[in-house]
Amino acid sequence: MANFRNSIPVILGFIAIGVIIGIVLTTGFNLDTKSLADNKPAEKIYEEGESATNPQNNMSFTPQKGFVEVVKKVKPAIVTIYTTKNVKVPANPWHRFFRGFGFEDVPEGEEREMPQTGLGSGIIVSEDGYILTNHHVIKDVDELRIQLYDSEEYPAEVIGTDPETEVALIKIDKSGLTKAILGNSDDVQVGEWVLAIGSPLELNFTVTAGIVSALSRDINIIGRGSYAIENFIQTDAAINPGNSGGALVNDRGEVIGVNTAIKTETGTYIGYGFAVPINIAKTVMDDFIKFGEVRRGYIGVQIEMMTPVRAEGVGLDKPRGVFISNVLAGKAADKAGIKAGDVILKVEGMEVNKPNQLQAKVGSYNPGDEISLVVWRDGRETNWRPEMIRSLPLPEKAVNPRN
């Protein structure tokens, strides 16, 4: 027992020595606790997203699952539109052919009507049968027939059509329909996932996927000689003939655009399609319901794209805003004091850097609405109060097709 008691101090000594050695090895021979606290890793040279800094809020989108849910949500709100137009054709189709070879006595015969069919898509926007589509889908047709997702078919009537935006509103006599949810196209960003849903090439209720490739595209398909508003969303989701009037949908299942056109040399999809932003379509639909016609705002200016030379000339740090080349006498801009040489930077707080962006924003207001502008003049920004400028109706004869 005595020997055991005498060995206790020795054992404790060995333990203490082991602890000291362990501390020395793990601290790199630095026993100063303050210096340990200050010896932090250097700041990261890269930025981490929320999924890395807060894994509990990781809301990453997976196309395999996410697209399936979006399609389930939106597909029942998409329709196929069949159109029929009666066109007159010669009773004797060989008349002109033989006349070209000198057979003047070949009878022409009376003209006869032949049905010409067309195909498009549409978006159900209300439970009681209102359907959004494109102007060119239903232009000058004699019959409209709507096929729902469950294959039921109904005749439709035209409520309103606007060739300046390529937007049309039609209606079927049916209630209890599944309606689409409309998003906010002003919040759309390049790179977002999108789906195009419609009936291309007689392949009803087809879904294609892609991203938003560009915004505010003006591709000159509606026409320069009018007050056409071209402010398209560009996508690489496949869009083909028959998709027109269908939905461009974000990853939350909200309609952000109405598929309208493709830019191609072959007549079919080669990479890019274009959709009318849903905010433009909503404004047109509101006018149809409220007034029975489109009442588009107009401030009376001729506008041009900003260039580096113009930017330097007016004292801007870079090309931005929209250049005012002329102000029409007696119109809203003239009465508010806007002058040629001014640069409009913002409309109602939204930056405008292309003529079609300014045109689309102003056109989203009704005649008599008050709008605020931020204008660059004499090397500084000036805020034009809402009461200083009102949008006006379109003149009977367009002086300039851009705004």
What is residue 202's predicted lDDT score, i.e. its pLDDT? 87
Residue 95 — pLDDT band, cuts 50, 70, 90? low
Torsions phi, psi of 15, nearest 5?
-65, -45
In a domain, 151, yes or no: yes
CA–CA distance, 160 with 238 (Å, rounded to integer): 28
Give the pLDDT score at 342: 92
**What's the confidence (pLDDT) of residue 290?**
87
Q: Looking at residue 402, what is its pLDDT?
A: 37
Establish if 5 belongs to a structural domain. Answer: no
Q: Does the structure show a pLDDT above 50 at 35?
A: no
Does residue 309 belong to any structural domain of this protein?
yes
pLDDT of amino acid 223: 60
3-state secondary structure of 113: strand
Show the domain range for 128.
80-172
Residue range 246-289, pLDDT digits in tens: 999 998 899 999 999 887 767 766 778 999 999 999 989 998 98
CATH number at residue 343: 2.30.42.10
Full-prediction pTM beyond 0.75? no
The answer, yes or no, to whether residue 184 has pLDDT greater than 50, is: yes
Which residues lie closer than 8 Å to 338 by C-beta, 6 or more apart?
A: 299, 301, 324, 327, 344, 373, 375, 384, 389
Q: Is 239 part of a structural domain of the chain?
A: yes
> For 105-118, what is the mean pLDDT?
69
Angstrom distance (rounded) from CA 227 to CA 276: 15
- Looking at the structure, do residues 356 and 315 belong to the same domain, yes or no? yes
Same domain, 209 and 242: yes
CB of 124 closer than 8 Å to CB of 77: yes
- pLDDT value at 167 more than 90: yes
Residues 311 and 266 in one domain: no
Give the pair of three-digit tokens for residue 350: 């939204």
Where does the pLDDT of residue 395 fall: very low under 50, low under 70, confident under 90, or very high at 90 and above?
low
Cβ neighbors of 121 (< 8 A, separation 6 or more) are: 78, 79, 80, 81, 133, 137, 197, 198, 199, 242, 243, 244, 245, 246, 247, 259
The CA–CA distances, whole Å, from 210 to 8, 252, 263, 349, 400 equal 77, 14, 16, 30, 36
Q: 196: helix, coil or strand?
A: strand
**pLDDT digit string (tens) for 320-333?**
999 999 998 888 88
Q: What is the mean pLDDT of residues 139-158?
A: 94
Same domain (yes/no): 321, 229: no
Query: Which residues 6+ apart lie within 8 Å of 391 measured at CB?
Result: 297, 298, 299, 332, 362, 365, 366, 367, 368, 369, 371
| Mean pLDDT to the nearest integer, 158-165 | 92
Predicted local distance difference test score (pLDDT) of residue 39: 42
Asked, for residue 58, whether it belongs to a domain, the answer is no
pLDDT score at 266: 73
pLDDT band at 87 (very low <50, low <70, confident <90, very high): confident
Count of structural domains within the chain: 3
260 in a structural domain: yes
Q: What pLDDT band is residue 61 in, cutting at 50, 70 and 90?
A: low
Work out the average pLDDT over 26-37.
34
CATH, residue 207: 2.40.10.10
- Give yes or no: residues 122 and 143 share one domain: yes
- For the purposes of burial, counting CB atoms within 10 Å of the CB of 158, is it exposed (0-12), middle (13-18) or buried (19 or more)? middle
Same domain for 309 and 374: yes
Give me the pLDDT at residue 92, please.
61
Whether residue 260 sits in one domain with residue 186: yes
Long-range pairs for 150-155: beta carbons < 8 A, 24 or more residues apart: 150/76, 154/129
Q: What pLDDT is stored for residue 396 in this prediction?
A: 45
| Domain boundary pick from 291, 312, 327 | 291
Q: Which of 114, 271, 115, 142 is nearest to 208 (CA)?
A: 271
The predicted-structure confidence for 9-24, as pLDDT tens digits, reads as follows: 444 454 444 433 343 3
The answer on 237 and 150 residing in a single domain is no
Beta bridge partners of 373: 347, 384
* Identity of the residue numbered 82: Y
> Residue 72 phi/psi, 5° resolution?
-60, -35
Average pLDDT over residues 171-179: 94
Sequence-distant (6+) residues with CB within 8 A of 10 are: none
Rounded Cα distance, 304 and 359, in Å:
11
Q: Look at residues 291, 321, 351 and tell me which one is the last residue of a structural domain.
A: 291
- Grade residue 231 by pLDDT with cuts at 50, 70 and 90: confident
> Domain boundary residue among 269, 291, 313?
291
State how far the Cα of 208 lies from the Cα of 275, in Å rounded to an integer: 14
Q: Are 232 and 155 within one domain?
A: no
With respect to residue 72, please indicate whether it lies within any of the assigned structural domains.
no
Q: What pLDDT, on the 0 to 100 scale, is given for residue 235? A: 95
Q: How far apart are CA 207 and CA 247, in angstroms?
A: 10
| Higher-confidence position of 53 and 342 | 342
Predicted pLDDT at 243: 93
Confidence of residue 319 (pLDDT cuts 50, 70, 90): very high
Q: What is the pLDDT of residue 330?
A: 86
136-150, 229-243, 268-282, 319-333: the lowest-pLDDT one: 268-282
- Residue 242 is predicted with a pLDDT of 92
**Within this chain, do residues 261 and 194 fall inside the same structural domain, yes or no?**
yes
pLDDT value at position 335? 87
Q: Are 247 and 180 in contact (CB under 8 A)?
A: yes
Indicate whether 278 and 189 sit together in one domain.
yes
Cβ atoms within 10 Å of 5's Cβ, excluding its own: 8
Q: Is residue 377 part of a domain?
A: yes
* Whether residue 331 sits in one domain with residue 275: no
